[in-house]
Amino acid sequence: MAATNTLIVFASRHGNVEKFARNIFNLIDGKVDICNLNNRESFPDASTYDSIIVGGSIYHGKIQEKVSKFCFHNIEILKNKRLGLFISCGYSGEKAEKELREAFPLELFAKAVASDYFGGKIDNSRLSFLERIIANQLSESGELTQSVSQEKIKKFAQKMNQSNVVEK
């Protein structure tokens, strides 16, 4: 048995997803590469990895365009890899589960060995003026949940590690 090589790709607008990706990076066994899609001109070659983890955050009910494009351009490759999917969102429970299911193509979501939402925290210093107004309104209404689940991140990594063994 040999450890696999894993690619973690993500896009982070306000820092939550990047923190999650780096936490996962530190918990995954074997060789791990990490790629912030916001800092790339082109997509990494997903075909050279055994496992791929894709993460992004939800804005107005949709995952970032760069994450969506990465999935679209690599869908056939991703369907044949050990796949993990995660999101950052300001909700919990059924609403967060729905956003997770709708963030990625159904065929990828169904194939994933690990998928979860980890929550999120709002850092007002990273928000635009309009985003601060919207975030404050949602927070005051009680719609937003501002917490991060380190336990969910650990369980996600454990699931990926359990499936991250390749027969020689």
Check whether 121 has a pLDDT greater than 90: no
Q: Parallel, antiparallel, or unpaired for β 51-59 and 62-63? A: antiparallel
Would you tell me the crossing angle of helices 150-163 and 16-27 to the nearest 10 degrees? 50
- pLDDT confidence bin for 149, thresholds 50/70/90: confident
Q: Rounded to an integer, what distance in angstroms lies between the CA atom of residue 83 and that of residue 110?
A: 10
Check whether 145 has a pLDDT greater than 60: yes
Name the residue among 63, 59, 62 with its Cα closest to residue 9: 63
Check whether 14 has a pLDDT greater than 60: yes
- Average pLDDT on 102-114 reads 95
Q: Parallel, antiparallel, or unpaired for β 82-88 and 51-59? A: parallel
Name the residue among 30, 41, 39 with its Cα closest to residue 12: 39
- Average pLDDT on 154-165 reads 85
Q: Which residue has the tokens 């070659």?
A: 45
DSSP 8-state code for residue 51: E
Which DSSP helix (H) or strand (E) runs through 1?
A: none
- Looking at residue 144, its pLDDT comes to 57
Say if CB 20 and CB 88 are below 8 A apart. Answer: yes
Say if CB 141 and CB 37 are below 8 A apart. Answer: no
Say if CB 148 and CB 117 are below 8 A apart. Answer: no
Check whether 6 has a pLDDT greater than 90: yes
